[in-house]
Amino acid sequence: MALIPRLMQYSSLRKMVLLARQWKTPPSACLAQCRERSSIATPLMRSVLFLKNSPESLQQYSRARADAYIMDLEDAIPKGQKDSALKLYAETMKSGIFRGHTVYVRINDISDETRLLKEVDALCHPDLTGFIVPKITSPDDMKKVDRIFSELEKKNSLPRGHCKIIPILETLEALWHAPAIAKASPRMSALINGRADIAACFRKPPLSSPIVHSFMRDVLHAARAAGILALDGVSYLDNFPRLERDVTMGKILGFDGMIVVHPSLVPYVNQLYSPTRQEIDWAEQVTAGVRIYQRSAQEHRQFIGPPHLPSASHILETHSKIKALESSVSRNTKPAEDMGTVTPLQRKGGLSANPMNGGEWTPGIVPVTLDSSWCAVWNSSFLNTRRLNSDDVAARQMGLPGIQPPFHLLATLALSLAVSKSSEIGRFGLGISNAVQLRPVAEGDTIRAYFSLDSVEEAGRSGKYSIVTSSHVLVNQRDEVVFRATKPTMYPKKATEKLRIAKKQKNGIPTDSEVRRHIVQNAALRGNTYTGTMSLPLESKKLYVHRIVKVFSPTEAKGLSNLVRATNEHHLNIKKFTTDDIVVAGPLAEAATVHNVADEFGDILYQEVVEASNVNRVNQEDMIGSVSFIHSIQQLKENPDLEEVTVRTLGIKNLDVDELMDRDFPVRLFCGANMKTADYEKICSEEFPLLYRRIATQVLWKFLRLRPLTSNEVPDGIQQEFS
């Protein structure tokens, strides 16, 4: 089997050598040539529209507003109508209606030299940009066409080189010789990817086969090495979602435009092949000499330098051409009834757009009414085996008004309902601390979020960021605080420069949990008060690897962000952020980390989060596994049937938890206080590389549960009887 990779490497190397022999310029020189080349003189060719063979279509061509146009003499014209079409095109060309526009004619197969001479001679005109040449197989074909063009240019009193050439690479031979074809003549202005014909050579459908991507790269490579444009072939006619995917793929690869066959596609393709605001911003930063680019506080930083300058210059030149074109079109086609224009406005979120005073309570975005549907949606995403979140009888036996919302749902709402006015422009939500459910929540309760800014301090030594600590509460319709938490958030320093934190006493927030008091009073192993599930014994100072894992699908991650009103763009905006920059909300990652413990820890009656932090980002499709280190297990004095467990749980991303078995973990990972991301990564890189950059979250929390039974205890009600 080892022979097969060797043969594949040898075959690839042989092909590279053969292609290299055909190049007149070595690849390194081509790169230098591309870097020095300016695209100012190259016309826009985002959309290249085939025109219909009719006088009406030709006369009204400019309404389509394509960047370039093609009059066809090949496939679109039946054999018996080619002469009449040639005559129509020649007369239209002489009328002058194409003057100032980019216009090509696709001629017939060049193997018929007589026909070739007739067509080129009739159409060789000052207003014609050039010819599209089909069925090319080798550089010799290009040299033949170049020679004929030169003769007919001289005959028609045109300067040598006036007629440009765009070959269509639509045969296997053309693909093989693509680099040489692209450099065979100085008349070359672009290469066209003949996707349909090439896919047919492979006996595959032209629009759905993966083979299309392979020869797209061959065409693009040849065009870029020659310093000319690359145009993609025809895609769907009216399947706009698929067309968008095709154009996006072509643009990502580096194509400059696409051949289209209907005017309705032109504005769509033009828009997709135009530089976006993000691309223009990046290009301006590159040309300004910036070395580190970060478009927004939530995104990763990117190193930029001289290698990026050609791309940046091309983006800005293209943008400049588009603006000039749009300006000329608006002047020439102004409507009779001009209603003017309007400039859009956009609400800015976060601290900088919402004036507030430190120490004062600020309401969140919107109240929410917690009915059973909230719990159903939450439990469909996270494994939740806690009876108080699903069993109304058990909840009432505990002295509660009914089923309680999951703890981490309340914790997430406490933070997320304040996002639009606080951390929407933050760089990272660093975690949560002192999270406690203070009062029970009845079904149908309407809760509102409030937050207040407690402190601002500089983060690290760079001076670029600040950490803002804020208090968060959920308040019900009776103005009772039902949940509280503290949250540290990292912001760009500019966003916090005007904050003034006044030390004011916050009133009305209880310190003790009424929910905890109900459970301590009513939970029991014996009697009818509460029949709990059997708790498995836990051991202090032991590490547990949990077999349950959580995967955030893209749809689920965005749906949960919408559900909890987490309005940060980097959770939702797939057009503004790349896949690597679309992140799962921090509280959701912490929730997944804790919900994974269900099998080992049993029925948890009550919990508090002492501190939790987001160590590394969690992206869509990431899998979260969990490991827990038991710090202590204490029997409650107030209720000997309950035990309080203090545990630190780490959320591990994208690692099969079985890989963690039979390994010695450094205890420092679980016992440090106020540890930062750098602390975790230092420990992992030095002592446990398997977890380097894989710790997503850490949660230090306490929970109450019924203690395990001893061997001589036989409580009433454990053996259920049925009637």
Asked if residue 117 is part of any domain, the answer here is yes
Looking at per-residue confidence, does 700 or 577 come out higher?
700
* pLDDT of res. 495: 73
CATH number of the domain residue 485 falls in? 3.10.129.10
Token output for 692 = 């380097």
* pLDDT of res. 358: 61
Whether 297 and 436 map to the same domain: the answer is: no
Region 604-611: what's the mean pLDDT? 95
Mean pLDDT of the chain: 83
Region 204-216: what's the mean pLDDT? 70
Element at 3 (helix H, strand E): helix 3-22
Element at 473 (helix H, strand E): strand 465-475
Highest mean pLDDT range out of 198-207, 450-459, 583-592? 583-592
Q: How many residues does the chain have?
A: 723
Last residue of a domain, one of 238, 257, 274: 274
Whether 316 and 419 map to the same domain: the answer is: no
Element at 519 (helix H, strand E): helix 514-522
| Residue 520, number of CB atoms within 10 A of its CB | 19
Q: Looking at the 3D structure of the chain, how many domains does it have?
A: 3
**Reported pTM:** 0.74
Looking at per-residue confidence, does 422 or 53 come out higher?
53
Whether 480 and 390 map to the same domain: the answer is: yes
534 pLDDT tier (thresholds 50, 70, 90): low
Whether 220 and 289 map to the same domain: the answer is: no
Q: Which residues of 576-606 are buried (b: 16+ CB within 10 A; e: fewer)?
A: bbeeebbbbbbbbbbbbbbbbbbeebbbbbb
423 pLDDT tier (thresholds 50, 70, 90): low
Asked if residue 369 is part of any domain, the answer here is yes
Last residue of a domain, one of 236, 259, 274: 274
Region 690-698: what's the mean pLDDT? 93
- Judged against a pLDDT cut of 60, whether residue 40 lies above it is answered with no
The closest alpha carbon to 178, from 189, 191, 195, belongs to: 191
* pLDDT of res. 257: 93
Q: What is the per-residue pLDDT across 631-650, written as a single tens digit (0 to 9) for each? A: 999 999 999 999 999 999 99
* pLDDT of res. 38: 40
Pairing of strands 257-260, 229-232: parallel
Weakest mean pLDDT among 199-213, 243-257, 295-309, 384-398? 199-213
Whether 265 and 304 map to the same domain: the answer is: no
Whether 202 and 286 map to the same domain: the answer is: no
141 pLDDT tier (thresholds 50, 70, 90): very high
Whether 189 and 301 map to the same domain: the answer is: no
* pLDDT of res. 503: 62
- Judged against a pLDDT cut of 70, whether residue 565 lies above it is answered with yes
- In the chain, the percentage of residues whose pLDDT exceeds 70 is 84
The closest alpha carbon to 447, from 481, 485, 408, belongs to: 481
Whether 191 and 290 map to the same domain: the answer is: no
Whether 472 and 600 map to the same domain: the answer is: yes
From CA 403, how far away is CA 105, in angstroms rounded?
A: 74
Output the CA torsion sign for 199, 205, 208, 210.
negative
Asked if residue 18 is part of any domain, the answer here is no
Asked if residue 714 is part of any domain, the answer here is no
* pLDDT of res. 5: 40
282 pLDDT tier (thresholds 50, 70, 90): confident
Whether 656 and 517 map to the same domain: the answer is: yes
Q: What is the per-residue pLDDT across 219-269, written as a single tens digit (0 to 9) for each? A: 999 999 999 999 998 777 777 788 888 888 889 889 999 999 988 889 889
Asked if residue 144 is part of any domain, the answer here is yes
* pLDDT of res. 185: 93
From CA 221, how far away is CA 27, in angstroms rounded?
A: 11
Whether 359 and 288 map to the same domain: the answer is: no
* pLDDT of res. 709: 77
Whether 322 and 431 map to the same domain: the answer is: no
From CA 309, how far away is CA 103, in angstroms rounded?
A: 31
Q: What is the per-residue pLDDT across 142-199, written as a single tens digit (0 to 9) for each? A: 999 999 999 999 999 999 999 999 999 988 898 899 999 999 999 999 999 988 777 7
The closest alpha carbon to 474, from 465, 466, 483, belongs to: 483
- Judged against a pLDDT cut of 80, whether residue 675 lies above it is answered with yes
By 3-state DSSP, what share of the chain in percent is helix, strand and coil, each rounded to 5?
40, 20, 40
SS3 128: coil
Asked if residue 685 is part of any domain, the answer here is yes
Weakest mean pLDDT among 168-182, 269-283, 570-584? 570-584
Q: What is the per-residue pLDDT across 319-353, written as a single tens digit (0 to 9) for each? A: 999 888 888 775 555 555 667 778 776 666 666 55
723 pLDDT tier (thresholds 50, 70, 90): low
What's CA 203's distance to the chain center, in Å? Answer: 34
* pLDDT of res. 486: 93
Highest mean pLDDT range out of 208-217, 424-433, 502-511? 424-433
* pLDDT of res. 453: 87
* pLDDT of res. 233: 84
- In the chain, the percentage of residues whose pLDDT exceeds 90 is 45
Asked if residue 338 is part of any domain, the answer here is no
* pLDDT of res. 427: 76
Asked if residue 228 is part of any domain, the answer here is yes
Q: Which residues of 611-629 are buried (b: 16+ CB within 10 A; e: fewer)?
A: bbbbbbbbbbebbbbbbbb
288 pLDDT tier (thresholds 50, 70, 90): confident
Domain range for residue 571? 351-706
* pLDDT of res. 166: 95
* pLDDT of res. 341: 74
Region 554-558: what's the mean pLDDT? 89
Cβ neighbors of 665 (< 8 A, separation 6 or more) are 543, 627, 688
Region 520-526: what's the mean pLDDT? 85
* pLDDT of res. 227: 92
